[in-house]
Amino acid sequence: MDIRRIAVIGGGVMGRGIAYTAALSGYHVTLQDVSQDALEKAEQYIAAELNASVGKGYIQSDQRNVALENLAYTDDLQNAVKEADFVIEAVLELMELKTEIFKQLGLFAPHHAILATNTSTMSPTEIAASTTRPEKCVAMHFFNPVHKMKLVEIVRGLDTSDQTVEITRRVAAAMGKESVEIHEFPGFVTSRMNCLIGNEAMNMLMEGVASVADIDKALKLGLNHPMGPLELADLVGLDTRLRNMEYLYKQLGEKYRPSPILVKYVKAGRLGKKTGRGFYEYT
């Protein structure tokens, strides 16, 4: 099956990055969000990233222009997916929201369209069960920032077909990504590991073991992590990380109980880079 048109549902941190990378890879992309503000911010982000890439010589100005022409923005889900060959959902990490979106995708996307979720932790089987085409549903887990990170985790739900996995792998490759294939389990490979490391770092901070900067420095220089776990959590968004932890705690038990400091920061609205303040301050 020839994939030409991609719809991305949810234009936040991940959706805008997926839309940007797909458009630069030659796909016609429609980015949908219920929030006009999110759509405007996504459009500004994508234009700024494309201009920065031209400025640094990573891409030519005509590649930027084609990418911009490949992009459309809408707040109407039906309109976004009606001609899509491939849909990537990147809304908040909430099961009720994802199943509601997938129910609508099942109704409005063409019959041949593959429906992928960018969930970090959740069951693609449960999400797919809200559609009448579970064989065409899959998890396609990108990483942040999408245009820089090389990996996509492709996660099979119970009914995901081999053809769906193969097409998803091809789309990931066309977007410049390596992929790994995973059989569904909460948190897949990366989130299961990464959430635990981040949570332990937060617990250490709470216990006064070391400062934010020293915990991050210790993991970067001592364990060769490219980013510290606290700066990474700020980049992900502490609200998103808390939802990930809550889901893993529910599914996998005590080991994944969200650190109280994470809960406290989210209550205070300190959500990380996106709000200007998390474990670090951003100007």
Residues that bind ligand NAD (CB under 6 A): 9-15, 32-35, 38, 90-93, 97, 101, 118-120, 141-144, 236-237, 240, 244
Residue nearest to ligand NAD (CB): 12
Residue 8: alpha-carbon gap to chain centroid? 11
Minimum separation from the CB atom of position 241 to ligand NAD (A): 8
Minimum separation from the CB atom of position 60 to ligand NAD (A): 29
Which CB atom, from 64 or from 279, has the smaller least distance to ligand NAD? Answer: 279
SS3 of the chain:
CCCCEEEEECCCHHHHHHHHHHHHCCCEEEEECCCHHHHHHHHHHHHHHHHHHHHCCCCCHHHHHHHHHCEEEECCHHHHHCCCCEEEECCCCCHHHHHHHHHHHHHHCCCCCEEEECCCCCCHHHHHCCCCCHHHEEEEECCCCCCCCCEEEEEECCCCCHHHHHHHHHHHHHCCCEEEEEECCCCCCHHHHHHHHHHHHHHHHHCCCCCHHHHHHHHHHHHCCCCCHHHHHHHHCHHHHHHHHHHHHHHHCHHHCCCHHHHHHHHCCCCEHHHCECCCECC
Which CB atom, from 38 or from 204, has the smaller least distance to ligand NAD? Answer: 38
Which CB atom, from 66 or from 182, has the smaller least distance to ligand NAD? Answer: 182
Minimum separation from the CB atom of position 93 to ligand NAD (A): 4
Minimum separation from the CB atom of position 42 to ligand NAD (A): 8
Which CB atom, from 148 or from 208, has the smaller least distance to ligand NAD? Answer: 148
Minimum separation from the CB atom of position 236 to ligand NAD (A): 4
Which CB atom, from 15 or from 278, has the smaller least distance to ligand NAD? Answer: 15
Which CB atom, from 64 or from 201, has the smaller least distance to ligand NAD? Answer: 201
Minimum separation from the CB atom of position 209 to ligand NAD (A): 25
